[in-house]
Copies of this chain bind each other. A is one copy, B any other.
């Protein structure tokens, strides 16, 4: 039956492999809500509403059902209860499910993974509401990043795993000298041995987007997975795990191949779960403090991490200051700067920059960015659609701390969301600081904060950005220049610092999101982590090869 699933989805797999090889990308998961059936949006919203106030049931080891601290940044009542995890019992159940899953073979596992992704594709509206209401993302962003983009990333991981495993010659034969005796023919077979029980930790901002690649890379390479959502954003991953277990059970596998380990903010289980000696792989995306804890304490497992860092913008020269400022303002405002690639630090020469026909001083650049933010966010309804909602109170504390650390060029202001009056919505604060004041801007920020840092010039800006990448970590740079030599220098600096970079901000280009099959995320070459599904090491570290040789 799993073989039928492989056959059913083989076309999708082949197209994904072609995209990995540089071919065109034709995602099976449309990113426009309008591409779905007319009834899909309402049906998805209805399914989402049906979760509210009810228990989300899983037949797993549990200490009973309880609320987790999940609350909507938009202020609606969620009130979903989940079974609280029993970490040790879940690890045992996963370990018990491993042998059968390992022996199923890559095609069976890939077929099942693709069926799970396919069914999740039909639940994208329901997932979008769950992501929106637990993370504060605006609806369209929640739909795209939580649904189709997340599924694309899962598909990419499955394709990478299939490539890595199917590339191995299953059986080889060669002649082995036996000292003075007759040479014998030797047959060798490779066994793919999964590393063991995997844990995927969910993020509070993009729960499905961050969890999908690790989850599916683990599954495709034979490792059972325990998904531990952030207690503030359980529902999206509960939907994912429910779907996975449904498919596993239908095809006759132990549903314990995928489990949901729910905890609460008051009684966290992550440390106990991760240090269980049977846990062999950990995927984590989130703050760097817990990321460092994992790196120091979870020494028995292979780690794939993505932590926040300092995402730098280097402004060197622009043909059209207004246009560049608009692009930058849009990036900074989107989801209130709470995304992992949101820019927070903009390096601008203190003597100003070439700007089209003339020259713009540092003050003029700052004023243009502030004006662009003001213009973009003037209307409360439109501003709410861009900003989403503030996740939690600590985010506002970061805004206040940023404002206190330099000269406020544009204050953060509260906005009323017309649909969700209880949502906390805040515009970005823009703060000018000097490059010498490192402590002010070299900090991990996840919220509506934009530092404009006055530097000695673009060479200095690149040095500062490189230094931030090496010490704090960075996921992405954006570069605005009209000078090909500066562009080349910026590209080389990014490579040396191990940070992916988008050039072209001077022309208004502002791609800073990670697209599947063209990933734009942690490279492994700086402290912001190594969890890039585009890196071949992303899947190869999840299994071992054991050789069996015999005379043939």
Contact = CB atoms under 8 A, between A and B. Distances in A.
Interface of A: 20-22, 24-25, 31, 99, 164, 167, 169-172, 174, 176-179, 181, 184, 186, 188, 191, 193, 195, 330, 491, 494-496, 498-504, 507-511, 515, 517-520, 523-525, 530, 532, 534-537, 540-541, 544-551
Contact of A540 (B179, B195, B517, B535): B535
A503 B169 contact: no
5 contacts: A22-B170, A501-B547, A502-B549, A504-B551, A509-B551
B504 A519 contact: no
A97 to B, nearest CB: 14
A180 to B, nearest CB: 10
A520 B549 contact: yes
A502 B189 CA distance: 11
Contact of A22 (B172, B330, B517): B172
The residue in A22, A25, A491, A520 that gathers the most chain B C-beta atoms within 10 A of its C-beta is: A22
Contacts of A494: 546, 548
Given A193-B525, A535-B540, A536-B536, A509 B550 contact: yes
B549 A545 contact: no
Greatest chain B CB density within 10 A among A99, A524, A530 is at A524
A171 B21 CA distance: 10
A515 to B, nearest CB: 7
A44 to B, nearest CB: 21
Contacts of A193: 495-496, 498, 523, 525
A22 B495 CA distance: 35
Given A495-B193, A525-B195, A536-B540, A547 B500 contact: yes
A188 B502 CA distance: 9
Given A504-B551, A507-B551, A518-B172, A535 B545 contact: yes
B549 A518 contact: yes
A381 to B, nearest CB: 14
A507 B193 CA distance: 27
Contacts of A518: 172, 174, 186, 188, 547, 549
Contact of A545 (B20, B181, B517, B532): B532
Contacts of A176: 511, 515
A544 B515 CA distance: 18
Contacts of A507: 551
A546 B174 contact: no
A172 B510 CA distance: 18
A495 B191 contact: yes
Contacts of A177: 31
Contact of A546 (B179, B495, B508, B547): B495
